[in-house]
Structure 1
Amino acid sequence: MKQTLPQSRRTFLSHAGKLTTACTVAGLSGGLVREAAASTGDCIIETTTNVLADRHYLLTGVRLEEGFEYDGETVIATRTALYSLEIKDGKIAALHPENSTLPGGVPRYQAHGQLLLPAMRDMHIHLDKTFYGGPWQAPRPRQGKTIMDMIALEEKLLPQLLPTSQQRAEGLIALLQSKGSTVARSHCNIDPVSSLKSLEHLQRALENHRDEFVCEIVAFPQHGLLHSKVDRLMREAMQMGVQYVGGLDPTNVDGAMEKSLDAMFQIALDTGKGVDIHLHETSPAGVAAVNYMIDTVEKNPALLGKVTISHAFALTTLAPEVLEETASRLAEHQITIASTVPIGSLMMPLPQLSKKGVFVMTGTDSVIDHWSPFGSGDMLEKAYLYAQLYRGSDEFQLSRAMSIATGGILPLDNEGKRSWPNVGDDAAFTLVGASCSAEAVARVPARSATFHKGRLVSGSIGKA
């Protein structure tokens, strides 16, 4: 007869976490989860909740990373331990080790041994225009089409999208939250067809979620700043609370690189805003545009640390020594690169940029729209892709790859010391069924719960 052995609390919670995750993957949100019975191995039923209204509470059974394990100098594993997080007024008030005495009279919830990861950040997305939330519609064929052809198509589509753009933006916000993201930067069309309506609709959507989602807005002249003559509308958008001036391919779309970039930067300087430009150009004109923007920041200290180049595909064309010099200049002038981590011939030199001190961030870009049907809104998936592309298959490099998804926040620093979470940090995190960051990046598990400033904004947790 088989003898039933007593389980340690750590083993029990680890097993429970796996079962909880399995239920989450199966779609049992807000319903019942299975918890392992410690003595018999049978399953018992526990109620979960997807509503958390307490300003002060404990989240128990949370798995935190403690340090690396080594074979010589090689990182071969990650040590973790269970904690109870005390959350108060949107902050982490205390980290209580397993089996420590917890404060009485404070509501308790259960994470079932799941791993705590920093909240993620989608730093390049278009919340204002999407097919998401409506019937399936694939993009039109792109073969042989120029960007000007796509702009002409968009001029016809925008009137069809505008009536539901607010509702679809809110649907995308929910999608991002379900993937663990509570921070975003959204580009928003400013064009002659939609005028400021796309912006107005997006701002209404964001207002409805202001306590659970943070989003910067880029006023994006999708049809060309000069080509569509929207300088006045762009300046009006700045007065409506937009944080960044956008731009688009100054040579291929506007046909005048310096004039287009000067106009974009002038709006930023006149209004005290930042800049985030789409630069897809891979011709020598794209390289010239990058250098011109670096020169402009050098001449205008007010722009230091306030400029982002999105896509920046021209960097893929540079010889190694030229890339090194350009990366050094980008870092010196605190110019950020926002990349979707593309594959194929446009695979970006992201590790080289980071090594030189350039801040690199990632985003979804399009989510099921007339440009692309492939956007998933999942930043952990971007970290997975980054690790695959740049050969980060070992424990250490897998754990480092998560940085691109979280804005540089990692549970452990390069020496294996805990750098997050800390007392006083915003309670912004997500729970996953993984043993460590490296496993989370490699396997991209479902996010069972997402928190923003202490609020449960997606998923569900156990009632302790």
Structure 2
Amino acid sequence: MTTLGVGIAPSWLIGKGGETPVSLKEPLTILKRLKLKNVRLETGFEYDGEEVIATKTDLFTVEIVDGKFAAILPNAPSASAVDAKGLLMLPSFRDMHIHLDKTFYGGSWQAVRKRTGGVKGMIALEQKILPEMLKTSTERAEKLIALLQSCGSGFARSHVNIEPTSGLTSLKHLQQALERKKQGFEAELVAFPQHGLFYTDAAPWMKEAAQMNIDFIGGVDPYTVDGEIKKPMDFIIKLALDHNKGIDIHLHESGDSGLKTVEYLIDRVNENPVLKGKTYLSHCFVLGRLEKSKQEEMADKLAQAQIGIMSTIPFGGLIMPIPTLYKYGVQVGTGNDSIIDHWNTWGTGSVLQKANLMAQLYGYGTEYQLSRSLKLATYNLVPLDDKGKQQWPGIGDDANVVLIDASCSAEAVSRISPVRSLIHKGTVVF
């Protein structure tokens, strides 16, 4: 055995010979081989006529070798196997929009303060408080990652501030945190000019960041922050093309400028097909303001350009047209965005809770609809396909799983069932 990283083992993980589980404070034990018995997997749907009324499951023995599924066998007694005690195995969750680099999490409670001056007032606030936040940003990022892991996420797409106040320090601190947590967590990084590309002259810093270990070029409200659409959008697109990166742009603008920004991005991606499948709009609240026919038109155009939407699922006065996006085949992801910082205090760390919220908002209450809603938490990976055929896990797949106290996916979404264990590429995180 090799011990690397820091992690914990679940109460069910009792090894051969009754070994004591790894302590919360001890190094995580990484096994080349892991064999689990009494693992509950979904096997199909049960129908009443054409209606799905239940999800079939059975118990299996699962073998994991070098972080991948090596065998999925009929359940059988085995003294050498860890007893999963009938817990449901699902794909682990993926938080597709979060800011790990700037958080109050791990410190004292702080609610947001009354905003003044709109987004530019918030930029001024950030410029004031970021130097102090950077002093603890590595440690707090690690704590925030641990929270996501405790809720079943082994992966995140994190935006990271790149602007004159932070320079590249926020990025470097987050990369240190991710290095320390790499045995049980992975992340994609978005270079994010939170204070505007040109409003605070972040462009030179973005050019530097693009040459570092990041995956996406980000942006934020080009018209509101930088005063025009074309110049900042062209900069983002060129930087992505020059450095073979993806694109993920925050777009909160919900009026005409928001729609024009979406249309501009669609046109540029169609002109540069290499960006298809690697371009995303985060939030994109303008979609929730459009008439139904326009929503359908834009969803079709986004799907044709293979531009995904990373939605935080707002509710109340603004409800995103997620069913319409799914109808046209737009890739939809979700995330916690801000767990607790100067922007927001609503995050729980659970994207399963986000799937539950989506199901409630759109009335997805049937067994079938709830089972399909799981894909929001896993970023489009579910055990059964739409016809009820088992499609996960497969031999050779990465063993990124949660063991959850639920009878099936539908119950897990409906009840936000407790996650009992996270396994990341065969490593038991907790």
TM-score normalized with structure 1 length: 0.87
Match of 2:99 among 100, 122, 126: 126
Q: Post-superposition shift, 1:48?
A: 4.3
Residue-by-residue CA offset, 1:393-432 (whole Å, 9 max, x unaligned) = 1111000000011111101111111111111111110011
Q: Residue 5 of structure 2 aligns with which residue?
A: none
- Alignment map for 1:193-208 (pairs within 5 Å): 193-208=165-180
Match of 2:61 among 57, 73, 84: 84
Residue-by-residue CA offset, 1:346-405 (whole Å, 9 max, x unaligned) = 210011011101110111100111011111110110110111011111111000000011
**Counterpart Cα distance in 2 of 1:320 and 1:302:** 30
AA at the equivalent of 1:125: I
Q: Structure 1: where are the runs of 5+ without partners?
A: 1-28, 36-44, 459-464
- Aligned-residue Cα RMSD (Å) equals 1.9
Aligned partners of 1:304 and 1:334 also within 8 Å: yes
- Alignment map for 1:422-433 (pairs within 5 Å): 422-433=394-405
- Alignment map for 1:299-318 (pairs within 5 Å): 299-318=271-290
Q: Residue 67 of structure 1 aligns with which residue?
A: 44
Q: Residue 409 of structure 2 aligns with which residue?
A: 437
1:350 aligns with 2:327: no
1:282 aligns with 2:257: no
Shifted more, 319-328 versus 446-455: the winner is: 319-328
Query: SS at 2:146's partner residue?
Result: helix
Aligned partners of 2:13 and 2:83 also within 8 Å: no
Q: Post-superposition shift, 1:49?
A: 4.4
- Alignment map for 1:25-424 (pairs within 5 Å): 48-49=21-22, 51-99=28-76, 107-142=80-115, 145-424=117-396
Query: SS at 1:375's partner residue?
Result: coil
Q: Post-superposition shift, 1:210?
A: 2.0
AA at the equivalent of 1:272: N
Q: Post-superposition shift, 1:31?
A: 8.3
Residue-by-residue CA offset, 1:185-220 (whole Å, 9 max, x unaligned) = 000001111111000100111111222211010000
Query: SS at 2:196's partner residue?
Result: coil
Aligned partners of 1:31 and 1:47 also within 8 Å: no
Q: Post-superposition shift, 1:137?
A: 1.1
Larger Rg: 1
**Counterpart Cα distance in 1 of 2:151 and 2:11:** 21
**Counterpart Cα distance in 1 of 2:126 and 2:236:** 22
Query: SS at 2:227's partner residue?
Result: coil
Q: Structure 2: where are the runs of 5+ without partners?
A: 1-7
Query: SS at 1:239's partner residue?
Result: coil
Q: Residue 38 of structure 1 aligns with which residue?
A: none
Query: SS at 1:130's partner residue?
Result: coil
Q: Post-superposition shift, 1:160?
A: 1.1
**Counterpart Cα distance in 2 of 1:200 and 1:52:** 28
AA at the equivalent of 1:92: F
Aligned partners of 1:120 and 1:180 also within 8 Å: yes
Aligned partners of 1:32 and 1:46 also within 8 Å: no
Query: SS at 1:123's partner residue?
Result: strand
Query: SS at 1:182's partner residue?
Result: strand
Q: Post-superposition shift, 1:32?
A: 6.2
Aligned partners of 1:33 and 1:46 also within 8 Å: no
AA at the equivalent of 2:83: Q
AA at the equivalent of 1:117: L
Aligned partners of 1:32 and 1:47 also within 8 Å: no
Q: Post-superposition shift, 1:68?
A: 0.9
Aligned partners of 1:139 and 1:369 also within 8 Å: yes
AA at the equivalent of 1:91: K
Q: Post-superposition shift, 1:52?
A: 3.9
Aligned partners of 1:33 and 1:47 also within 8 Å: no
**Counterpart Cα distance in 1 of 2:13 and 2:188:** 39
**Counterpart Cα distance in 2 of 1:130 and 1:110:** 37
Shifted more, 280-289 versus 324-333: the winner is: 324-333
Aligned partners of 1:185 and 1:216 also within 8 Å: yes
Q: Post-superposition shift, 1:30?
A: 5.8
TM-score normalized with structure 2 length: 0.93
Query: SS at 2:317's partner residue?
Result: helix
Q: Post-superposition shift, 1:72?
A: 1.2
- Alignment map for 1:11-30 (pairs within 5 Å): none
